[in-house]
Amino acid sequence: MDIKGEQFIPVPRQQVWAALNNIDVLKQAIPGCDSMTRLSDTEIEATVTAKVGPVKATFKGQVTLSDLDPPNGYSIRGEGKGGVAGFAKGGAKVRLTDAPGGTTLQYDVDAAVGGKLAQIGARLIEGTARKLADEFFVAFTKIASDPKE
């Protein structure tokens, strides 16, 4: 499954970059995020509860950041295991560019699922992934735009 998109965030690129690298901001913005811990400058461990159709599972996994190019973007790759529900793995390229009045965040995600999740069907999984991405960007934009963050 591939998902591409972009989001306008009404703050300078450096502020968006800082928010993308702040685990407190990410934890608040990721739908269903139960916990997030930075293991190193490039590794993050997280627990996320997600519902895809009739399957609700808690995924525990690790994410690695690479191709770091501050404040322009990075690549992210990870895998989460959800017990009997299955697994999700994939990656994304995130790019930030200046835009009038703020920053444009572009993303290109590739993901795969296995186990019970794979039996649900690609359309439902992709629809859920797009919905979660939309929820993330609404929350992330609000938090990143708050001068207190």
Whose tokens are 């993901």? That residue is: 111
The C-alpha atoms of residue 23 and residue 114 are separated, in whole angstroms, by 27
At 107-142, the pLDDT tens digits run 999 988 888 888 887 788 888 888 998 999 999 999
pLDDT score of 148: 62
The C-alpha atoms of residue 1 and residue 3 are separated, in whole angstroms, by 7
Whose tokens are 């800082």? That residue is: 18
Rounded to two decimals, what is the model's pTM? 0.88
**Amino acid, res. 57:** A
Arch. (CATH architecture) of 2-145: 2-Layer Sandwich (3.30)
pLDDT score of 51: 86
pLDDT score of 111: 87
User: pLDDT tens, position by position, for the chain (149 residues)?
Assistant: 889 999 999 999 999 999 999 999 999 999 999 999 999 999 999 999 988 888 888 999 999 999 999 999 999 999 999 888 889 899 999 999 999 999 999 999 998 888 888 888 778 888 888 899 899 999 999 999 986 64
Q: Do residues 108 and 6 make contact, with C-beta atoms less than 8 angstroms apart?
A: no
Helices (H), the chain: 13-20, 23-29, 116-120, 122-145
